[in-house]
A and B are shown apart, each in its own frame.
Chain A
Amino acid sequence: QQQVKQSPQSLIVQKGGISIINCAYENTAFDYFPWYQQFPGKGPALLIAIRPDVSEKKEGRFTISFNKSAKQFSLHIMDSQPGDSATYFCAASMNSGYSTLTFGKGTMLLVSP
């Protein structure tokens, strides 16, 4: 019930296209859903996050869509660029002092020029 399932494992998108990464969760107590971006040899960095009181959050070319009833959320990268090539992790956590982030297994995105 603590798992966050992420798909696809890898994704190749042409420059200018839309990249879509999906995540699903089981624990309805989760109330914070961040996405992290990791470049090779670097630590993951927070990209964008959403709480379940909204269905969508947009920051520049990055959008999170959240479907509370389906217990799913997704990351959309519009106008994908080669510089977006990285590994993306979704995650979820509960509002608890002892709660830790549960991460998906990651998606390797390659944006071809």
Chain B
Amino acid sequence: SQTIHQWPATLVQPVGSPLSLECTVEGTSNPNLYWYRQAAGRGLQLLFYSVGIGQISSEVPQNLSASRPQDRQFILSSKKLLLSDSGFYLCAWSTPGGSYGYTFGSGTRLTVV
């Protein structure tokens, strides 16, 4: 069966520090991968998605970047965090070739202080 792992679960980082959040998927090949941010416990904002290794589409220009160094690994990064980067970050995957049936990870609560 397929599983998605996301870590860390919580993170407190000072303003100006770098960020690296990792997401891995097991039990499937060539998944579509997504990074979402959820602010104030409500709406889901799509940040990045990837349909293959090295292929990243950015939905919202901002202080963040994403990379997909391996088929089932998706990384969200920042060189210098801003206060506004605080939020709940969610990784998700779907079957290759379509966006049906997203499966989300358990999320990372990021607080920038």
Which residues of chain A have a CB within 8 Å of any CB of chain B?
32, 34, 36, 40-46, 49, 87, 89, 93-101, 103, 105-106, 108
What's the least CB distance linking B103 to chain A, in Å? 7
Number of inter-chain CB pairs below 8 Å: 61
Which residues of chain B have a CB within 8 Å of any CB of chain A?
6, 34, 41-44, 46, 49, 51, 59, 90, 92, 96-107, 109
Chain A residues positioned under 8 Å from B107 (CB to CB) = 41-43
Chain A residues positioned under 8 Å from B106 (CB to CB) = 42-43
Report the bound CA distance from A43 to B105 in whole Å.
Answer: 6
Chain A residues positioned under 8 Å from B49 (CB to CB) = 100
Given A44-B90, A100-B49; A106-B43 close (CB under 8 Å): yes
Nearest residue (CB) in B for A44 is B104
Report the bound CA distance from A34 to B92 in whole Å.
Answer: 15
